Chain A
């Protein structure tokens, strides 16, 4: 069985990840939102590495390294560059009132405890806590996506859902394919980032000079 200390550390890291999710709910600047996301990913990397230590699994260390490099450093950096390039960093996003959103967030945490804890009493305690907390991260991520209008903040919400799922996957002892799945998810995430890029650039292109666009199209068709 896992020692008390090991369990407490795992529990604390997972709890901090949920706290980061709650913090995201009330950020009204995109850059701040991205910073919190980077912090959450960093906590996730630490949590995965701790699980790797507990389970003695090399695969999990690899997953932790991926989370650190990709989710905590590369993607937030790319998102920040994108936001600054598009001039979104000065905008203040209207977020639905902090009070109600936070209450909804806490309600979601309570809901996921209520749903997951009773059905997982046969699972080992670390995985049990991780799964319940992971579900609340997933649900709060959905809440972020629903309450935001901006494409970039939607991506941040989606990335935090992804963090929640990684937390659940690593809590499940010996879950195979964890590495492969995180790679697949990272590719997905990269595509999303490219997606917004194209989305926004295209929007600009259209407003900048429609005539030039038509001309180049006609030329290429010939």
Chain B
């Protein structure tokens, strides 16, 4: 119970406190402490799981997402403390906006943690909406025309997506009602899963289409991805890091839960092929789009679409190995991508621009930053010895064993993306230095912690972690 309270109430309290705190140094510190307490709460949940209640549920599946999410939030808040100091000095943000920014950061954390812990499909939906709304206002915080446009696009597409998801949620309730009875019980995950055998599978089929389109928009899958690059590029960089590292995962979690529900209902369509198709389309599309990017944050936003595609593909393939690879890939992507955004944030601040052609020779002018960025790019492109390589290798090899044709298509997508990322990465890191070469005051340990974890995972996966992921993979069916 203490774990639950820490994970849910800390962000809520912190948001209230931060909304009234004027001094930005103090609020940055409160932000870090609150995120760290929520992380501690998540670790407590890992050690001891309370029994599922009426509204909240902790099981093996969502504990993975919560531990990962609160960890990335903690490191991001450390990075953000350094980042916003610079934004304040250059006049991009004012203290008033910063107060708002910190309060929204914690509100978003509350929304995400609630969405992950909710035992009720309605509560989960409301929580995802809350997390979306708080990120929308943060994306638009710079108030440049481009930022407002990005926030507007994210808002409209996200709201339409979430409206479709709500329609799907209502249909799930309709399917459950004859079996479970009226009222709140027909929206509880634990009850739904237990009774899914008797649900009307035709209604569930239609519901899943809406849920896939709705939550899939939030995951950033290819035909519905249009909000994602803009939202990543125009908002503050800490927000890009949490969008890629956390929010996409939360929507993915919702999809996985509903996939479990369909799997428990005999006669329902198999969600796998739908997810595999959307995932593959995302990978191929994003891989080719990577070549035409001129903005450094947009580049990595498209890389996020590619990776979410791989993850959804892998969960769609399913089976113990496919699910294991999907979980590993998701963890590695969250850690690596947020580390990349941390370095990109510092690079953009030093150079005063996000245009790739205006940045170059980073390893000469800022060796530590340049090599950190290059290591991140190498990791996300799937080079050994980083953990992303292990995960992608698992996805590919397990697919080869079952559907060789799909594996070939996926492999082509991975190779194309690899080429684009490496070309851009070397362009940023090597060659003649371009742009201003002022000193950098970077917060190193978030980058080091993330890349270090990814490196360790690539070389040696600890036994308990493997056992844990294997167990969750078996749960996912």
Of the candidate stretches B154-162, B307-315, B320-328, the one touching chain A is B154-162
Q: Is the pair A168, B159 in contact by a Cβ cutoff of 8 Å?
A: no
A160-184 toward B: CB 8 Å interface, digit per residue (1/0)?
0110110011001111110011001
Out of B90, B136, B200, which one reaches A122, CB within 8 Å? B200
Contact residues in A for B91 (Cβ distance below 8 Å): 217-218, 220-221
B49, CB-defined interface residue at 8 Å: no
Chain B contact surface mostly: helix
Contact residues in B for A217 (Cβ distance below 8 Å): 91
Chain A nearest CB, measured from B115 CB (Å): 13
CA distance A134 to B156 in the complex (A): 20
Q: Is the pair B148, A176 in contact by a Cβ cutoff of 8 Å?
A: no
A48, CB-defined interface residue at 8 Å: no
Contact residues in A for B166 (Cβ distance below 8 Å): 165, 169, 181
Contact residues in A for B120 (Cβ distance below 8 Å): 177
* Residue from B91, B125, B133 whose CB has the most chain A CB atoms within 10 Å: B91
Q: Is the pair B129, A184 in contact by a Cβ cutoff of 8 Å?
A: yes
A123, CB-defined interface residue at 8 Å: yes
Residue of chain B at shortest CB distance from A187: B133
B182, CB-defined interface residue at 8 Å: yes
A179-222 toward B: CB 8 Å interface, digit per residue (1/0)?
01100100110011001001100110010000000000110110
Contact residues in B for A122 (Cβ distance below 8 Å): 178, 200, 203
Q: Is the pair A173, B177 in contact by a Cβ cutoff of 8 Å?
A: yes
Q: Is the pair B203, A192 in contact by a Cβ cutoff of 8 Å?
A: no
A-B contact count (CB 8 A): 109
Contact residues in B for A195 (Cβ distance below 8 Å): 151-152, 155
A116, CB-defined interface residue at 8 Å: yes
Chain B nearest CB, measured from A200 CB (Å): 10
Chain A nearest CB, measured from B146 CB (Å): 11
Contact residues in A for B171 (Cβ distance below 8 Å): 131
Give residues of chain B (134-150) contacting chain A, Cβ–Cβ below 8 Å: 136, 140, 143, 145, 148
Chain A nearest CB, measured from B199 CB (Å): 10
A115, CB-defined interface residue at 8 Å: yes
B296-337 toward A: CB 8 Å interface, digit per residue (1/0)?
000000000000000000000000000000000000000000
* Residue from B120, B123, B167 whose CB has the most chain A CB atoms within 10 Å: B167
A138, CB-defined interface residue at 8 Å: yes
Q: Is the pair A188, B159 in contact by a Cβ cutoff of 8 Å?
A: yes
CA distance A116 to B167 in the complex (A): 12
Q: Is the pair B145, A202 in contact by a Cβ cutoff of 8 Å?
A: yes
B92-130 toward A: CB 8 Å interface, digit per residue (1/0)?
001000000000000000000000000010110110011
CA distance A177 to B89 in the complex (A): 46
A150, CB-defined interface residue at 8 Å: no
Known: A122-B178, A221-B91. A176 touches B167 (CB 8 A): no
Chain B nearest CB, measured from A131 CB (Å): 7
Q: Is the pair A162, B163 in contact by a Cβ cutoff of 8 Å?
A: yes
Residue of chain A at shortest CB distance from B88: A221
Contact residues in B for A188 (Cβ distance below 8 Å): 129, 133, 159
* Residue from A145, A188, A192, A198 whose CB has the most chain B CB atoms within 10 Å: A188
Q: Is the pair B173, A154 in contact by a Cβ cutoff of 8 Å?
A: no
Contact residues in B for A199 (Cβ distance below 8 Å): 148, 152
Contact residues in B for A174 (Cβ distance below 8 Å): 177, 182-183, 186
A126, CB-defined interface residue at 8 Å: no
* Residue from A119, A138, A158, A199 whose CB has the most chain B CB atoms within 10 Å: A119
A127, CB-defined interface residue at 8 Å: yes
* Residue from A118, A169, A187 whose CB has the most chain B CB atoms within 10 Å: A169
| Total residues of chain B contacting the partner, CB 8 A | 44
CA distance A217 to B142 in the complex (A): 12
Residue of chain A at shortest CB distance from B123: A177
Out of B122, B145, B159, B206, which one reaches A119, CB within 8 Å? B206
A120, CB-defined interface residue at 8 Å: yes
CA distance A165 to B125 in the complex (A): 14
Residue of chain A at shortest CB distance from B155: A195
Q: Is the pair A184, B156 in contact by a Cβ cutoff of 8 Å?
A: no
Known: A119-B206, A168-B167, A176-B183. A145 touches B145 (CB 8 A): no
Contact residues in B for A72 (Cβ distance below 8 Å): none
A104, CB-defined interface residue at 8 Å: no
A16, CB-defined interface residue at 8 Å: no
Residue of chain A at shortest CB distance from B204: A119
Chain A nearest CB, measured from B151 CB (Å): 8
A2, CB-defined interface residue at 8 Å: no
Known: A131-B174, A175-B173, A202-B148. A145 touches B155 (CB 8 A): no
A135, CB-defined interface residue at 8 Å: yes
Known: A135-B167, A181-B122. A145 touches B148 (CB 8 A): no
B202, CB-defined interface residue at 8 Å: yes
Chain B nearest CB, measured from A204 CB (Å): 11
Residue of chain B at shortest CB distance from A177: B122
Q: Is the pair A172, B122 in contact by a Cβ cutoff of 8 Å?
A: no
Chain A nearest CB, measured from B130 CB (Å): 8
Q: Is the pair A116, B206 in contact by a Cβ cutoff of 8 Å?
A: yes
A151, CB-defined interface residue at 8 Å: yes
CA distance A113 to B89 in the complex (A): 59
Contact residues in B for A131 (Cβ distance below 8 Å): 170-171, 174
B373, CB-defined interface residue at 8 Å: no
B452-471 toward A: CB 8 Å interface, digit per residue (1/0)?
00000000000000000000
Known: A174-B183, A176-B122, A218-B91. A154 touches B156 (CB 8 A): yes
Chain A nearest CB, measured from B211 CB (Å): 14
Q: Is the pair A120, B152 in contact by a Cβ cutoff of 8 Å?
A: no
Contact residues in B for A115 (Cβ distance below 8 Å): 206
Q: Which residues of A contact B (CB under 8 A)?
A: 115-116, 118-120, 122-123, 127, 131, 134-135, 138, 142, 145, 151, 154, 158, 161-162, 164-165, 168-169, 172-177, 180-181, 184, 187-188, 191-192, 195, 198-199, 202-203, 206, 217-218, 220-221
Q: Which 9 A-B pairs have the closest CB atoms?
A: A174-B182, A221-B91, A119-B202, A177-B122, A176-B184, A220-B94, A184-B126, A168-B170, A161-B163
List 18 interface pairs A-B (beta carbons < 8 Å), by A numbering: A116-B206, A119-B206, A120-B174, A154-B156, A158-B159, A161-B160, A168-B167, A173-B177, A173-B182, A175-B170, A177-B122, A177-B123, A177-B184, A181-B126, A195-B152, A202-B148, A217-B91, A221-B89
| Extra 5 A-B pairs, beta carbons < 8 Å, given A165-B167, A177-B122, A195-B151 | A116-B206, A142-B160, A168-B167, A174-B182, A198-B148
